[in-house]
């Protein structure tokens, strides 16, 4: 199959030319006192770490098969951060206030011996001396066989991607003929291992799987699993995103409420991306036994103002937004010089980078006319920096 121009552009981007210069040197924002704020006053609380750029699914909204084909050039193993390097970097993020680490990919469970990294991260402590909230996002394909080991290593929670209960719909979305039953088995194994509360993410694409919204809600209601509906996003440059394929979260809630009455709930934490809705009982009151759903509205209701997340790519580039086009090369700081000096420089770099952060892509996109939304600078692929 002849490689298209789109393929070649992505391959170059993934190999890191044009990385932004890392701002070094002392700065008040780099003190490591947990008070680091960006230009909009947003703290640094959440670090998402991609541990592999590989995935065994070919979801159309993330890694479409026509681009990520058998000839696609993944990163060589030598380019990936080692577990020790990831932990060193994570330690400096914790010094700047990070309290939660999410492992992602690609499909993170494809990274060999991932339990070793989880154990290293589980040994870290927040500035208050508390364990970190360590979680992982997975497509669920390998979860049944790995859930117990992940829990034993120190993983606390998992989020599983599942875009429908109907096999035909789900296989159309994942494009590798993977059955729903195997993902559900992974969820059951995670529950049995004590990885919870479990969240299930469903990317909703109008005209493709939106008829699965209510069946998904009925399936997970009362199970202890929190189902979240995500608006189809213009991440990366390969998924052919169109605004007319976005089903606004307001419509998702309306469809659910017509069948399963809902009550609005408060946010669970500062910077929470999901709006929470609880199932109501016959009296119209939220019943915790029935559980809840969430909607993530990054297209129609931007939450940039409260975004406290940074993303570390598989090969050590720091991205400040899911929709960014360039990252900062932190790997070079952990592969040169003496370890102590590296950590000092790394801490200063992280503080300076976050202190200068201005990212608010979704807010800016919302101000554009519909025909201009999703255009502009080429964005990094979600499979490279994680969702």
> Residue-wise pLDDT tens for the chain (387 aa)?
444 333 323 333 443 345 777 887 654 444 556 789 999 999 999 999 999 999 999 887 778 888 888 888 999 999 999 999 999 999 999 999 999 999 999 999 999 999 999 999 999 999 999 999 999 999 999 999 999 999 999 999 999 999 999 999 999 889 898 999 999 999 999 999 999 899 999 999 999 999 999 999 999 999 999 999 999 876 555 555 678 888 999 999 999 999 999 999 998 877 678 899 999 999 999 999 999 999 998 888 877 888 999 999 999 999 998 888 889 999 988 887 656 557 888 999 999 999 999 988 777 765 555 555 545 556 577 667 776
Tell which residue, 354, 249, 253, has the closest CA to residue 310. 354
Edge to edge, the sheet with strand 328-329 lists: 262-264, 274-279, 292-296, 226-231, 199-204, 157-161, 133-138, 100-104, 46-50, 309-312, 317-319, 328-329
Give buried/exposed letters for 74-101 (b at 16+ CB in 10 A, else e).
bbeeeebbebebbbbbbbbbbbbbbbbb
Q: Which tokens is 157 given?
A: 């929670």
Tell which residue, 76, 230, 222, 95, has the closest CA to residue 163. 230
Expressed in percent and rounded to 5, the helix, strand and coil fractions of the chain are: 35, 15, 50
Among 3.40.50.720, 3.40.50.980, 3.20.20.70, 3.30.70.20, name the CATH number for the domain at 5-385: 3.20.20.70
For 311, other C-beta atoms within 10 Å of its C-beta total 25
β-bridge partners, 200: 160, 227
Which residues have a Cβ under 8 Å from the Cβ of 278 and sit 6 or more positions away?
262, 263, 264, 265, 286, 287, 288, 290, 291, 292
Q: Half-sphere exposure (CA, 13 Å, Cβ side) for 345?
A: 17
Whose tokens are 């692929």? That residue is 381
Residue 17 is predicted with a pLDDT of: 42
DSSP result, 142-204? THHHHHHHHHHHT--EEEEE---SSHHHHHHHHSS---HHHHHHHHHHHHHHT--S-EEEEEE
179 in Cβ contact with 139 (< 8 Å) = no
Number of H helices, E strands in the chain: 12, 12
pTM for the full predicted model: 0.88
Distance, CA of 337 to CA of 329 (rounded, Å): 15
Q: Which tokens is 354 given?
A: 């976050």
Residue 28 is predicted with a pLDDT of: 45
Tell which residue, 356, 274, 271, has the closest CA to residue 306. 271
Tell which residue, 74, 89, 166, has the closest CA to residue 120. 89
Would you give the distance in Å from CA 345 to the centre of its chain? Answer: 27
Residue 11 is predicted with a pLDDT of: 35
Whose tokens are 């700047």? That residue is 96
Burial class (CB in 10 A: 0-12, 13-18, 19+), 119: middle
Residue 39 is predicted with a pLDDT of: 94
Which residues have a Cβ under 8 Å from the Cβ of 93 and sit 6 or more positions away?
44, 47, 310, 350
Distance, CA of 209 to CA of 230 (rounded, Å): 12
């Amino acid at each position: 199959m002849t490689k298209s121009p789109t393929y070649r552009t992505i391959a170059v981007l993934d190999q890191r030319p044009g990385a932004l210069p890392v701002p070094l040197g002392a700065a008040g924002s780099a003190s490591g006192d947990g008070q680091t704020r960006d230009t909009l006053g947003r703290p640094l609380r959440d670090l998402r770490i991609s541990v592999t750029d590989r995935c065994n699914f070919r979801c159309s909204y993330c890694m479409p098969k026509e681009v990520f084909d058998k000839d696609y050039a993944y990163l060589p193993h030598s380019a990936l951060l080692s577990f020790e390097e990831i932990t060193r970097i994570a330690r400096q993020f914790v010094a700047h206030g990070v309290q939660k680490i999410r492992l992602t990919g690609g499909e993170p469970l494809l990274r060999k011996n991932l339990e070793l990294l989880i154990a290293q991260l589980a040994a870290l402590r927040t500035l208050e001396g508390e364990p970190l909230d360590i979680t992982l996002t997975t497509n669920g394909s390998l979860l049944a066989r790995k859930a117990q080991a992940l829990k034993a290593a120190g993983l606390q929670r998992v989020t599983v991607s599942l875009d429908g209960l109907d096999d035909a719909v789900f296989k159309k979305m994942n494009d590798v003929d993977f059955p729903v039953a195997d993902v559900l088995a992974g969820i059951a194994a995670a529950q049995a291992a004590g990885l919870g509360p479990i969240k299930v993410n469903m990317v909703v694409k109008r005209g493709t799987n939106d008829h699965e919204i209510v069946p998904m809600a009925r399936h997970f209601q009362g199970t202890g699993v929190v189902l979240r509906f995500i608006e189809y996003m213009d991440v990366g440059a390969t998924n052919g995103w169109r605004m007319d394929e976005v089903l606004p979260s307001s419509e998702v809630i309306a469809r659910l409420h017509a069948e399963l009455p809902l009550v609005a709930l408060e946010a669970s934490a500062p910077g929470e991306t999901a709006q929470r809705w609880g199932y109501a009982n016959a009296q119209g009151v939220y019943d915790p036994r029935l559980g809840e759903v969430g909607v993530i509205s990054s297209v129609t209701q931007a939450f940039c103002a409260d975004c406290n997340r940074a993303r570390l790519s598989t090969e050590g580039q720091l991205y400040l937004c899911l929709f960014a086009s360039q990252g900062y090369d932190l790997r070079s700081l952990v592969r040169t010089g003496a370890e102590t000096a590296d950590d000092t420089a790394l801490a200063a770099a992280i503080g300076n980078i976050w202190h200068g952060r201005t990212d608010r892509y979704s807010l800016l996109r919302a101000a554009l006319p519909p025909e201009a939304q999703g255009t502009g600078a080429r964005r990094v692929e979600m499979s490279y920096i994680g969702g």
